[in-house]
């Protein structure tokens, strides 16, 4: 007997061996898939089912329901986390168990390889920034995590850097607004302990490459967190004729990827000075813009890089045609004349590596590098040929 509670537009999962503990499913289920994964407390398996890969985690029913509700709340707040599909309550020999189903986060990198392989050393800084950035995003969105660790985080490439995703929400809690300071502090302390513990484990198993400090990696994430938090939440005092500084501030916040919900203005007691603070909603500013204009669903920094290119194209086209073109026309032109032809040229690479948007961003990066060396814009064509020649 199984009771399935599924969200819309997912398979029904009715032919899975729900009567058995998932640790035995290798005996009964033809869909099991082997994927790179982090450490876990509960049994976790992966299935390849009707064209999608799903993660299944078995735990006590109340815990699964809590995690399910939390992941739904996190998704509604548009924060980066694995997508929850549903949960099943099954009666197995050992009693009532629940299985939480999430969609496998494809293109995600296991942290272990980021710390273990020296070729990926350049990602280390990005990884620490990504974890700090994820915690800032969650706290601003009212999510206390309670168990941030390397195993509970997944990483995706994002325009040369990384975007971190929450994968384990078992201990999380939702606050109506921004997470209060004491709880943010507590969350950081847990993260520091967990991360240093994760690294100590890798170290004692002789899996950690040289040059990674075990003791202060967690603290270094906290420092990055504090800097970013202050940058985003600072209050600024201006005089009435300095209102332009509000616009400047909005631009800085947007360039970090955050969208603005509202701007708070209040007079300072002493006189006619004004204190303002911008309140952010989520970190999807360029993502939403690019999606709306082109239908491309990119990571935030990838989207920023591409939107800059579209803005530049709009300026060039407006200049040559001697009229101001709307951004939508420039975006269409970019898609048809720049992006799709580039993807076509690198089709074999896309088959090999997946992730077309990230490959395109790498080409842009390479184009800048070549252009800087040449002292003029070398163009996409040259950049693509050289990119392929170097076997990136
Ligand atoms: N949806 C998912 N996509 C990708 N990996 C996942 C997903 N769900 C779980 N995993 C992998 O499984 C591991 C364990 O999952 P987690 O939810 O942390 O279990 P536990 O609560 O037992 O710690 C994670 O470290 C991650 O690598
Ligand atoms: Mg976990």
Of 203, 188, 198, 196, which Cα lies nearest the Cα of 217? 196
Q: Is the pLDDT of residue 49 over 70?
A: yes
Q: What is the pLDDT of residue 145?
A: 98
Q: Are 31 and 67 in a shared domain?
A: yes
Question: Which residue, 232, 254, 271, sits at the end of a domain?
Answer: 232
The protein residue whose alpha carbon is closest to atom 14 in ligand 1 is 40
> What's the whole-model pTM score?
0.94
| Whether 19 and 86 share a structural domain | yes
* Domain co-membership, 380 together with 292: yes
Q: What is the pLDDT of residue 214?
A: 72
Is the C-beta atom of 283 inside 6 A of ligand 1?
no
Atom of ligand 1 nearest to the CA of 39: 25
Q: Is the pLDDT of residue 260 over 90?
A: yes
Nearest CA to ligand 1 atom 25: 38
pLDDT at 121: 67
| pLDDT of amino acid 98 | 96
Q: Is any ligand 1 atom within 6 A of the Cβ of residue 170?
A: yes
Q: Is there a single domain that holds both residue 249 and residue 202?
A: no
Using the predicted structure, report yes or no on whether residue 271 has a pLDDT greater than 80.
no
Picking from 263, 280, 297, the residue at the C-terminal end of a domain is: 280
Q: Is the pLDDT of residue 301 over 80?
A: yes
Query: What's the pLDDT score for residue 92?
Result: 80
Picking from 72-86, 114-128, 238-252, which range would have the lowest pLDDT averaged per residue? 114-128
* pLDDT tens, residue by residue, 229-246: 999 999 999 998 898 999
Looking at the fold, whether 292 and 363 belong to one and the same domain comes out as yes
Predicted confidence at residue 111, as pLDDT, reads 79
Q: Determine the distance separating the centroid of ligand 2 and the alpha carbon of 71, expressed in angstroms.
A: 14
pLDDT band at 119 (very low <50, low <70, confident <90, very high): low
Lowest mean pLDDT among 14-28, 102-116, 128-142, 333-347: 102-116
Regarding the beta carbon of 108 and ligand 1, being less than 6 Å apart is answered: yes
Q: Which of 196, 212, 232 is the last residue of a domain?
A: 232
Lowest mean pLDDT among 10-19, 74-83, 263-272: 263-272
Q: What is the pLDDT of residue 163?
A: 95
Q: Is 197 in the pocket of ligand 1 (CB under 6 A)?
A: no
Average pLDDT in the 346-371 region?
A: 93
Q: Whose alpha carbon is nearest atom 20 of ligand 1? A: 40
Do 301 and 363 fall within a single domain?
A: yes
Question: Does 38 sit in the ligand 1 pocket, CB within 6 Å?
Answer: yes
Please give the residue range of the domain that contains residue 83: 2-103
Regarding whether 358 and 322 lie in a shared domain, the answer is: yes
Q: In what order do the strands lie in the sheet with 274-280?
A: 236-238, 274-280, 260-267
Residue nearest atom 19 of ligand 1, based on CA coordinates: 40
Whether residues 92 and 197 fall in one domain: no
- What pLDDT, in 10s, does the model give residues 165-192? 999 999 999 999 999 999 999 999 999 9
Taking the CA of residue 43 as reference, the ligand 1 atom at the shortest distance is 22
Do residue 344 and residue 357 come from a single domain? yes
Instruction: Please report, rounded to a whole number, the percentage of residues in the chain having pLDDT higher than 90.
Output: 80
Query: 182: how many CB neighbours lie within 10 A of its CB?
Result: 8
- Lowest mean pLDDT across 15-24, 205-214, 270-279: 205-214
User: Who has greater pLDDT, 119 or 383?
Assistant: 383
Residue 356 has pLDDT above 70, yes or no: yes
- Verify that 272 and 220 share a domain, yes or no: no
Domains of the chain: total: 4
**Ligand 1 touching residue 154 (CB < 6 A):** yes
CATH number at 32 reads 3.30.200
Among all bound ligands, the one having the nearest atom to the CA of 108 is 1
> Which residue minimizes the CA distance to atom 17 of ligand 1?
168
The per-residue pLDDT for range 88-105, each reduced to its tens digit, is: 999 887 789 999 999 999
List, for residues 186-218, the tens digit of each pLDDT value: 999 999 999 999 888 888 887 777 667 777 889
Residues 171 and 88 in one domain: no
* Domain co-membership, 148 together with 217: yes
> Is the confidence at residue 120, as pLDDT, over 70?
no
């Amino acid at each position: 007997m199984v009771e399935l509670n599924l969200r819309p537009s997912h398979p029904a999962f009715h032919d899975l061996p729900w009567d058995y503990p998932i640790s035995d499913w290798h005996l009964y289920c033809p869909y099991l898939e082997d994927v790179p994964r982090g450490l876990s407390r509960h049994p976790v398996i992966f299935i390849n089912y009707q064209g999608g890969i799903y993660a299944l985690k078995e735990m006590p029913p109340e815990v699964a329901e809590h995690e399910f509700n939390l992941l739904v709340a996190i998704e509604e707040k548009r924060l980066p986390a694995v997508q929850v599909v549903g949960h099943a309550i099954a009666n197995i020999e050992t009693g009532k168990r629940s299985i939480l189903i999430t969609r496998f986060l494809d293109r995600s990198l296991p942290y272990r390889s980021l710390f273990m392989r020296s070729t990926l050393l350049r990602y280390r800084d990005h990884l620490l920034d990504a974890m700090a950035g994820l915690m800032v995003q969650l706290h601003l969105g009212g999510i206390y995590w309670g168990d941030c660790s390397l195993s509970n985080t997944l990483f995706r490439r994002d325009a040369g850097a990384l975007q971190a995703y929450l994968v384990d929400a078992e201990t999380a809690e939702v606050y109506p607004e921004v997470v209060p300071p004491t709880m943010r502090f507590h969350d950081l302390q847990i993260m520091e302990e967990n991360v240093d513990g994760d690294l100590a484990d890798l170290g004692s198993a002789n899996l950690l490459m040289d040059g990674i400090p075990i003791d202060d990696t967690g603290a270094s994430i906290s420092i990055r967190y504090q800097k970013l938090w202050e940058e985003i939440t600072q209050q600024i005092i201006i005089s009435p004729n300095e209102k332009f500084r509000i616009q400047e501030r909005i631009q800085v916040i947007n360039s970090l990827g955050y969208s603005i919900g509202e701007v708070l203005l209040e007079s300072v007691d002493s006189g006619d000075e004004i204190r303002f603070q911008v309140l952010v909603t989520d970190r999807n500013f360029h993502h939403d813009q690019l999606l709306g204009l082109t239908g491309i669903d990119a990571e935030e920094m990838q989207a920023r890089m591409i939107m800059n290119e579209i803005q530049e194209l709009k300026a060039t086209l407006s200049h040559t045609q001697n009229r101001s073109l709307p951004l939508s026309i420039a975006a269409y032109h970019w898609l048809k004349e720049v992006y799709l032809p580039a993807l076509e040229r690198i089709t074999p690479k896309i088959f090999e590596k997946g992730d077309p948007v990230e490959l395109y961003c790498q080409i842009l990066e390479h184009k800048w590098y070549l252009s800087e060396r040449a002292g003029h814009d070398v163009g996409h064509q040259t950049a693509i040929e050289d990119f392929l020649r170097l076997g990136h």
